[in-house]
Amino acid sequence: MFKINENYLKLPGSYLFSAIGRKVAAYSQAHPDKKIIRLGIGDVTQPLAPAIIEALHGAVEEMGKAETFHGYAPDQGYEFLRSVIARQDYQDRGCQIAADEIFVSDGAKCDSGNIQEIFSLDNRIAVCDPVYPVYVDSNAMAGRTGSYDAGTGTWSNVIYMPCSMENGFVPSLPEEKPDMIYLCFPNNPTGATITRAQLQEWVDYAIRTGAVILYDAAYEAYISERDVPHSIYECQGARNCAIELRSFSKNAGFTGVRLGFTVVPRDLKCGDVRLHDLWARRHGTKYNGAPYIVQRAGWAVYSEAGRQQLQEQVAYYMENASTIYKGLTEAGYTVSGGINAPYIWLKTPGNMTSWEFFDCLLEQVGVVGTPGSGFGPSGEGYFRLTAFGSHENTAEALDRMKKLTF
Ligand code: MLT
């Protein structure tokens, strides 16, 4: 008789955004006449930029002719894409990252879930609390997180690093020693950022203690302040201790197109084993490369026209962030984030729990957000709104929220 991976049975409920999706679907079925405004999942709403559409069309045409047809993509991604990433995202910022240290994939969510596979099950992970749930769930599925305590919403073998208003939502170095440290800045869900000096402390700590940092920089395009690093490789020594994950979803609207990449520097080693070789081995066995068409679209993100158009798109969303931030502040909410990130993190009013506020918002005014407690115990009493809606819907959501009664 076959056996299942029992680690899956330890997972609490369902994936956060699936649970929200189900609640919203039930509400909308019961109230078909009500217009729901979705500021929950960080899904983009603006169409793909013209430069990207043009590249997609061009690539589709190529696929239709024998001379320019492309079959399986190289495991690690096409050189035309990896080299432009290495140059524009890294070398132009003074980071020594080479094209062959970049692994193109179908998105940062998959990479951030899969990357744990190349590490021993004995490793102890540390995560910010609140945290993007994929880091913890993927380690739980692998059997690295111990047992789940439904009362506290914590795993016995995970080091939680609380991020609160008091520490500006930037965690302190942990007292217990982790082997794998997940950091995400600009942060999902709090929208907080880390300064270069603060991030350097983490890099120094990882080198000192022999830990690896898994750095999720999916939201770097939203950085507006100067001392906020766009990449962990802006810190000295990071090539020896950090892997970086990047996405095309938020900077270029690829949530439905799917493209991302992971940087594994050749200097990053465990003894004399390069993590680069392990990830290359894993990629070669389990992945057949992102589609040519999509990689061509990714390449257009770095073209002059693409960069210009995407800057405008990011600015569009950040105008929403400012609308939400200002509107909620005026309405008396305690608000953070939204300056270098497309997420606004607010304290729930009237001491409501995160889910109570979710229900209240949905039922009273038809606005969907994300309950902070879904991201971890320290998220309780908080709520996340995304800036990825349209201007019209964002403004309407704010008007509606001002009418809430508690
Ligand atoms: C979020 O809402 O946290 C993100 O959209 C999730 C993701 O990027 O996978």
pLDDT 10s digits, 169-196: 999 999 999 999 999 999 999 999 999 9
Q: What is the pLDDT of residue 13?
A: 81
The minimum-distance atom of ligand 1 relative to the CA of 40 is 2
Q: What is the pLDDT of residue 5?
A: 98
HEC-encoded secondary structure of 114-143? HHHHHCCCCCCEEEEECCCHHHHHHHHHHC
The minimum-distance atom of ligand 1 relative to the CA of 134 is 9
Q: What is the pLDDT of residue 17?
A: 87
Helix (H) or strand (E) holding 245: strand 242-247
Residue 285 CA to residue 281 CA, distance in Å, equals 6
The mean per-residue pLDDT over the stretch 274-300 comes to: 97
CA 177 to chain centre: 24
Whether ligand 1 lies within 6 angstroms of the CB of 109 is answered as yes
Judge whether residue 406 has pLDDT over 80. Answer: no
Judge whether residue 1 has pLDDT over 90. Answer: yes
Judge whether residue 292 has pLDDT over 90. Answer: yes
Residue 134 Cα to ligand 1 midpoint, Å, equals: 9
Copy the structure tokens of residue 129. Answer: 């609390």
Whether ligand 1 lies within 6 angstroms of the CB of 144 is answered as no
Q: What is the pLDDT of residue 363?
A: 94
Model confidence at 405, pLDDT cuts 50, 70, 90, reads confident
Judge whether residue 49 has pLDDT over 90. Answer: yes
Q: What is the pLDDT of residue 267?
A: 98
Nearest CA to ligand 1 atom 4: 42
Nearest CA to ligand 1 atom 1: 42
Q: What is the pLDDT of residue 16?
A: 86
CB half-sphere exposure, 279, CA atoms < 13 A: 27
Whether ligand 1 lies within 6 angstroms of the CB of 188 is answered as yes
Q: What is the pLDDT of residue 19?
A: 86
The minimum-distance atom of ligand 1 relative to the CA of 255 is 8
Judge whether residue 75 has pLDDT over 80. Answer: yes
Residue 67 Cα to ligand 1 midpoint, Å, equals: 39
Residue whose pair of structure tokens reads 């690896």 in the numeric block: 212
The minimum-distance atom of ligand 1 relative to the CA of 17 is 2
Average pLDDT, the chain: 97
The minimum-distance atom of ligand 1 relative to the CA of 247 is 8
Residue 41 Cα to ligand 1 midpoint, Å, equals: 6
Residue 227 CA to residue 240 CA, distance in Å, equals 22
Residue 121 Cα to ligand 1 midpoint, Å, equals: 26
Q: What is the pLDDT of residue 258?
A: 98
For the chain, first and last CA: distance in Å?
A: 54
Judge whether residue 205 has pLDDT over 90. Answer: yes
The mean per-residue pLDDT over the stretch 316-339 comes to: 97
Among 39, 131, 134, 188, the mutation site with the greatest number of ligand 1 atoms within 8 A of its Cβ is 188
Instruction: For residue 381, give the amino acid letter.
Output: G
pLDDT tens per residue across span 127-153: 999 999 999 999 999 999 999 999 999
Judge whether residue 270 has pLDDT over 80. Answer: yes
Helices 50-63 + 304-330 axis angle, to 10 = 140
Copy the structure tokens of residue 405. Answer: 């009664």
Q: What is the pLDDT of residue 14?
A: 80
